[in-house]
Chain A
Amino acid sequence: MAAIVTDHLHRKFRKTVAVRDLSFAIEQGEVFGLIGPDGAGKTTTLRMLAGVLKPTSGRADVLGEDVVGNPEALRGKIGYMPQHFSLYGDLSVLENLTFFAEIYRVPSQERKERIARLLRFAQLEAFADRPAGKLSGGMKKKLGLACALIHSPQLLLLDEPTNGVDPVSRREFWDILADLHLQGVTILITTPYMDEAERCNRVGLMFRGDMIQQGEPEALRRLAPGEMLVLYTPALAQAEAVLPEFPDYIEHQVYGDRIHIFVSDADAARPRLQTFLAQRHIPIQSLYQDEPRLEEAFIYLIRQARLA
């Protein structure tokens, strides 16, 4: 059974279309990742699904309830964690959790045990009395998640929950999500990190309000154009300038000190590219074939979408 089904979900802000006729579905128990550049419409989508933003048109059913017509019906069943810190900075960790427990009417006999479990879960036991505003970025996010989990929701809507968080906290956060996934909680998460997208069951790529691709990370990775060669060179700018003249060239992407070059046949292209660059006096530190990651596939797909 589907946890989320949207049908031509559409949201305009004055004249700007934030989300355009979005139709997609998420199965129960899935971890679904929404990715895309800033302004793609990810946050708007999540807000509409959480029932805090009214769509301009279209329809969305979340856990079998009509979000547009009756958002109140699903409040108790979903946990929503907005992008920005949205707890009470002057209340302590414990007071924040207690507040949300009261708002969600968690029975008082269960409350204590559940809060203790979430504190342990989020590794915040030592900070229970600290004002939420004085927590580190990673701890704030974990507290946000704990508050969104206080009523044991069946569906979690998480808007960039790990953005701006250090790698260790990020890993811990995903360990928590993995636990929840095992417990059968459906998770819809937006993230700017590709390694996180690879941990999802399925991924949707949003661009300019559209979902331009969706599928399992493995399948999306294969949408990268052809095979990939990785070139390390000190003459990055010159290499970039001449590459489009290379006969077998499809596309390239720069990643810091290296260029990822897409060609139809990597084995055949490698020696020819070596000669091509040598003729133009561009030094090669190394040139080897590698598997395209999700990131390369997405950058390619977004470039294509931009051209279209």
Chain B
Amino acid sequence: MKSFSLARLWAIMRKEFRHILRDRRLLFLVTVSPAIMLTAFAYVFSFDLNPARFAIYDQDRSPQSRNLVAALSHDRNLIVLGEVDRYEDLRQGMAAGEIKVGLVIPPGFGRDLQAGHRTSVQVLAEGSDAINASTQMAILSSRISEWGQQYETLDIPQPVELRAITLYNPDIKGRYSMVPALLAIAMILPSMAVALALAREKELGSFESLAATPVRAVEYIPGKLIPYIIFGLISAALAVAVAVLWFKVPMKGTYLDLAGFTTLYLWATLGISILLSNFITNQSTALRAVLLLFLVPSFFLTGLIVPIDEQARFVAFTLPATHYVAINRAVFLKGQGWDALGMHAFVLLSMGLFATLFTILTFRKRVG
């Protein structure tokens, strides 16, 4: 670290700020593009459903079963399409695609409940659209369980056998868990910008002038990173605003915590990008490297859309997005902070720190 100069670091930072502010495409990339990407993806990957539409086959016709049907009919997340008199009608309705979910109340349902016995209902789903079906089933199930609680006794804690407990997102709003997670994908865009910035410096030749000056890696690399982290935070603020104001995602945690976690995430992704572009001399390769190493795996391996696969767990762990997805869901939906998420924060911090140090150590003021 000998002859580190704050003045030089500041000179590099000022220059980077000017580059960003004067290049409209770059400015777009590091300010509003994450918010736009988040909006687009939130609609594309929205597993939010219309209210579950289902038909009922009440074989029991007891006061209890009628009470259940009435309770379900008044739920705003459920639409009762109608009642059928034959099992066959349910199946035909499903085959025709008119009915997605069916509820069958067996004979003796009311009697069993009355007698304090455990009883059961059947929920049928048309599984060709699996995600849809399972979500609708889950909604219906949780409503039935809630209804059943009135018959709870000490002996029979769950009188209606059908359990689907959904924590934190009781309405199972897909968007509520999706939007905070998508934030992680959207915030990869600033790291694309920094990879481009270093590659462009080499491509345009200004790197050769700079390489002949006394500037040091400890000034140059942070001087490049810091402006992009600052702009990254601005773009994150815009994206979070979209999540909260437009998609109405509940924010149970604090914005200060989120800003802190986001800084760590930006440092990790930007740091890794700059490390990559350290070994790359042109912009298109740099862009492809970031896309291939960050964006694509982050989509599939970080638990964003599908739960993290057991075999991919290690890969997932090495992706900053995995940690940020977990952090965001926890901050937004559970209101958790540094205590609960310290591990993820630590991983991100280590990634940023090591990527930056490694870049500084491997940085060469050479052109060939």
Q: Chain A residues in contact with chain B, CB under 8 A?
A: 13, 47, 50-54, 71-72, 75-76, 78, 80-82, 84-91, 95, 99-100, 102-105, 144, 147-148
Contact = CB atoms under 8 A, between A and B. Distances in A.
Given A82-B205, A90-B19, A95-B18, A47 B367 contact: yes
A104 B23 CA distance: 26
A230 to B, nearest CB: 41
Given A54-B366, A104-B214, A99 B15 contact: yes
Contacts of A47: 208, 367-368
B23 A51 contact: no
Nearest to B201: A88
A104 B205 contact: no
Interface of B: 5, 7-8, 10-12, 14-15, 18-19, 22-23, 204-216, 365-368
Nearest to B205: A86
A40 to B, nearest CB: 16
B368 A50 contact: no
Contact of B11 (A80, A85, A103, A147): A103
A51 B368 CA distance: 11
Contact of A103 (B19, B207, B215): B215
Nearest 9 pairs of A and B residues by beta carbon:
A102-B11, A80-B212, A75-B214, A86-B205, A86-B209, A82-B208, A52-B211, A84-B205, A90-B22
Contacts of B215: 103
Contact of B214 (A53, A76, A88, A147): A76
B205 A103 contact: no
A28 to B, nearest CB: 20
20 contacts: A51-B211, A51-B365, A52-B208, A52-B367, A71-B365, A75-B213, A76-B214, A82-B209, A84-B208, A86-B207, A90-B23, A95-B18, A99-B11, A99-B14, A100-B213, A102-B7, A102-B10, A103-B214, A105-B7, A147-B209
A71 B214 CA distance: 9
Contacts of A54: 366
Nearest to B11: A102
A95 B206 CA distance: 14
B207 to A, nearest CB: 8
A83 B110 CA distance: 91
B15 A88 contact: yes
A105 B214 CA distance: 9
A128 to B, nearest CB: 16
A86 B15 contact: no
A72 B218 CA distance: 14
A52 B205 contact: no
B51 to A, nearest CB: 53
B213 A86 contact: no
B17 to A, nearest CB: 11
B366 A91 contact: no
A133 to B, nearest CB: 10
Contacts of A103: 8, 11-12, 210, 213-215
A240 B19 CA distance: 57
Contact of B365 (A13, A52, A87): A52
B8 to A, nearest CB: 6
A91 B18 contact: yes
Contacts of B211: 51-52
B305 to A, nearest CB: 39
A115 to B, nearest CB: 14
A54 B368 CA distance: 8
Contacts of A89: 204
A78 B15 CA distance: 23
Contacts of B368: 13, 47, 53
